[in-house]
Structure 1
Amino acid sequence: MPELLSEYDCVVIGGGPAGSTAAALVAEQGHSVLLVEREPMPREHVGESLMPESYWVFERLGVLEQLNKSCFPRKVGVQFVNNTGRESQPFFFRTHDPRPCSETWHVDRSEFDQMLFENAATKGAHCHDATRVADVLFDDNRATGVRLIDRTGTEHKIACKVVIDGSGQQTLIANKLGIKQVNPELKKAAIWRHYRGAERDESGGGVKTIIMHTSDKKCWFWYIPQADDTVSVGCVGDNDYLLKGRGTPAEVFEQELAKCEGAYQRVQGAEALDDLRVAKEFSYSTDQIAGDGWVLVGDAWGFIDPVYSSGVYFALQSAALAADCVSQALTTGDTSAAQLGGWGPEFKEATNSVRKLVNAFYSGEFRVGKFVMEHPEHQGNLTDLLIGRIFKPGVAMMFDDLDPWLDRQMSAMEEPA
């Protein structure tokens, strides 16, 4: 581990996918970069299912060969199961696009994040884990550095020209500046664990992410097959419903599992591992993406919802876009908010398609199979969004038909018998 210097061109906070990607790409351009992660690496994290469009960032980072040689199972599609247990036809990505970039992986985040962290070091970044950012330093409204506590408890004041905040749901800068906004309509919680020996469908040449509603549609489950015969199974619902007054998280998980026939049947006879975890109120955004001397990437910028597995892809893509703006800023000396956040408006507009798809899902009436049957012309656009092709021209046109279709479904449900 290289010795900490007193000054860098760029300090990157957070050793997750966003921070490690940004650090690697800025360092690769010849700038001095410090990447700090508060936890000892490797560390556990939720978010095992990737979107295929991550491929292009992996290509830039030079890690595709490592991923292809890894034990991570190949993700070939997505499938939905409604509250009655009826399964949609799988959305197999290769059917839509036969190129290798149309498939991806279900990853073990401890191994995956470690790989990206080490890749940043290979690219020239100074990488320090078990190092906590105690504060981001400002001079008036400009970020000028950070105050760190290293693994020995020693404090360091580090000056820099740009701070990239990839601190995840800590959202250090957003919390410091008071610009974080929790989405009042998506105050969700998640309870999840892993099973060994659960059902594993590898038809189609790999595994799928399966999204399943409970019978009363108050919650949904993710089902993500991983390596070593394990499956990640998670329950998501309103924060108050899941975590207040219904027993322990383990008890609530079992109650909801019993109401989700698809998930319940798939884990019968499997071993439930002793790794139950909880997260809550994870959907939020920030009022601005950058300021003078600082920029937000990944979950430090915002997080929509886990239902379509967009989190890691948004982290990777935002970090790559921000890294290009930061590299140019360091070369020209223009580290203004306009330069560092120049990628933001297009990214925000593109991610809004996923946000709208999330809102459709939580309407309770978005039956994927039925919508595609009635509007087959949008199957390609829907598959593109599940792949992560949010920048593709015309992909959002689907909502011109989906929004009124949902209104009709909801009106039909409200009509008296």
Structure 2
Amino acid sequence: MSRLDTHTLAEQFDCVVVGGGPSGSTAARQLAAAGRSVLLLDRAGRIKPCGGAVPPRLIRDYDIPDSLICAKASEARMIAPSERRVHMPIDGGYVGMVNRETFDEWLRDRAARAGAERRAGTFETVERDADGMALVTYRPAGAAKTDAPVSVRARTIIGADGARSQVAAQTVKGSDRQRYVFAYHEIIRSPGIGAADYEPARCDVYYQGQLSPDFYAWIFPHGDTASIGVGSMQKGFSLRTAVTELRKSSGLANCETVRTEGAPIPLKPLKRWDNGRDVVLAGDAAGVVAPASGEGLYYAMEGGRLAADAIEATLATGNAKALGIARKRFMKAHGQVFLVLGVMQHFWYRSDKRRERFVAMCDDPDVQALTWQAYMNKELVRARPAAHAKIFFKDLGHLFGIGETTGAR
């Protein structure tokens, strides 16, 4: 529960979490379960465009019930510019798929059950009261334009309000230097089996310049629905047109469209996640979406957990330097993966010729085995040096065009 500060007559919380997505909800739940007074402020009604893939480690680490998994993908299919199709089966496992509308709400409800106070509203400002404590101002959902905004005092703040975070813009220096992929997807009713080029247990990833000049397009199963989307950093490129073309070519043009969503997605962690005083960022606000893949759910929740650790350490010791442990621990665990994926995106996604070679490389059993091990467990695989050496030399072959790289399968 919040405490009423008798000096200012404003509610006071140990932590105000701005943003109720996977990152903010994870942080709010953890702090509330530890006995801290937490306000979870979320702008109601917004759903981020997302393929919805959750690896086994996320399900395991964050106790996600099977009831939230709307589909289980047992393979991925990579489609090259030449229409070559490479199948990447998952040996003995699966990637879970979730609907963000249901998944995010369940996470917010779980935070509330742990003791966090949920409120729907739009964040406006972080200011300082006479004592120097942070004053978070927001406009409650449904409030009239003439109504005064609400302010609460916060010993600490977690900015988990997504890409182009307003908390970050107002409090963390350098947060305006982020670059984004713009993503757009359409949620459709799934077709019947055999009615289109679609399988309910397969994720399709299209590496084709006409669908995305610098990223990729996708068709991901969600049980009764499916996500069809595309991302690009190129200004002026029509994401909607690309999705329309993908639906047409895959036989999904006539499927009912349930809803459409679009948003910027950051693909590089910010160099600083805190203000050195009482604010730390998490999730998209901190830039923790994986390059090349655009995967963000696991990293968002991991970032939320680490942000909560940093806030707890700061509250317990009074030492604001503890805020820095969130980024430090995240980068120690995942920084190398982000670096490798960033280099991969920069090189392989630059032209259809390179995309063709990239998809051809994915046909290699060693590449598939190591890719799935790294993805499912969220760490680079170091136990097979011979396989890594083999892949390295094959990579050079594809890079310089040595060997066969085209032809449909």
The TM-score, its normalising length taken from structure 2, stands at: 0.78
Deviation at 1:273, TM superposition (A): 1.1
The code of the aligned residue for 1:194 comes to: I
State the shift of 1:20 in Å. Answer: 0.3
1:227 maps to 223
Q: Which of 134, 137, 143 does residue 124 from structure 2 map onto?
A: 134
CA distance in 1, matches of 2:330, 2:261: 32
Tell me, yes or no, if structure 1 residue 105 matches structure 2 residue 96.
Answer: yes
Secondary structure at the residue paired with 1:286? Answer: coil
Q: 1:303 to 1:81 in 2, by over 3 A?
A: same
Match of 1:209 among 198, 203, 206: 203
Alignment partner of 2:86 out of 68, 85, 88: 88
Alignment length (residue pairs): 378
Any conservation in 2 of the 1:22–1:323 contact (CA below 8 Å)? yes
Report % sequence identity. 19
Residues in 1 aligned to 2:313 and 2:99: alpha-carbon distance in whole angstroms? 34
Question: Do the aligned residues in 2 keep the contact of 1:282 with 1:303 (CA within 8 Å)?
Answer: yes
Question: 2:2·2:37 contact (CA, 8 Å) conserved in 1?
Answer: no
1:279 maps to 2:277: no
Deviations 1:186-207 (A, max 9, x none): x543332123243658xxx962
Select which of 273, 282, 306 maps to 1:289.
Answer: 273
Q: 2:235 aligns with which of 240, 249, 259?
A: 240
What secondary structure sits across from 1:90 in the alignment?
strand
For residue 88 of structure 1, report the CA deviation from its aligned partner.
1.2
Q: What is the CA-CA distance between 1:54 and the residue it aligns to?
A: 1.2
Which residue in the other structure is 1:370 paired with?
A: 360
Match of 1:260 in 2: none
Amino acid across the alignment from 2:319: D
Stretch moving more, 399-408 or 80-89: 399-408
Closer, same or farther: CA 307–211 of 1 in aligned 2, 3 Å: farther
Q: Could you say which residue in structure 1 is the equivalent of 2:60?
A: 56
CA–CA distance in 2 between the matches of 1:218 and 1:32?
45
Corresponding position: 1:354 with 2:348? no
| 2:212 and 2:242 in contact (8 A); partners too | no
| 1:316 counterpart residue number | 301
Distance 1:338 1:225, change over 3 A: closer
Unaligned 5+ runs, structure 1: 244-248, 258-262
Q: Please state how far the C-alpha of 1:212 moved relative to its aligned partner.
A: 1.2
Alpha-carbon shift at residue 147 of structure 1 (Å): 1.8
> Which of 319, 338, 343 matches 2:329?
343
Shift, 1:373, TM fit: 5.3
User: Do the aligned partners of 2:211 and 2:230 also contact (CA within 8 Å) in 1?
Assistant: no
Question: What's the secondary structure of 1:233's corresponding residue?
Answer: strand
- Unaligned 5+ segments in structure 2 are 5-9, 403-409
> In the aligned structure 2, how far is the partner of 1:75 from the partner of 1:393?
26
The range that moved more, 120-129 or 77-86, is 77-86
Match of 1:384 in 2: 373
User: What displacement does 1:378 show?
Assistant: 4.2
Matched ranges for 1:190-201 at <5 A: 190-198=183-191
Q: Deviations over 1:93-143 (max 9, x none)?
A: xx1xx4xxx5342222111111000000000011111x1221123589x97
The correspondence for 1:74, drawn from 65, 69, 72, is 72
Displacement, 1:91?
3.3
| Aligned pairs (5 A) from 1:393-408 | 408=397
Aligned counterparts of 2:20 and 2:184: Cα–Cα separation in 1: 24
Distance 1:394 1:225 in 2: 32
Aligned partner of residue 83 in structure 1, secondary structure: coil
Shift of 1:329: 2.7
Partners of 2:48 and 2:262 within 8 A in 1: no
Q: How far, CA to CA, are the matches of 1:21 and 1:397 in structure 2?
A: 39
How high is the TM-score relative to the length of structure 1? 0.77
Measure the CA separation in 2 of the matches of 1:381 and 1:9: 43
Classify 1:87/1:183 alpha carbon distance in 2 versus 1 (closer, same or farther; 3 Å). Answer: farther
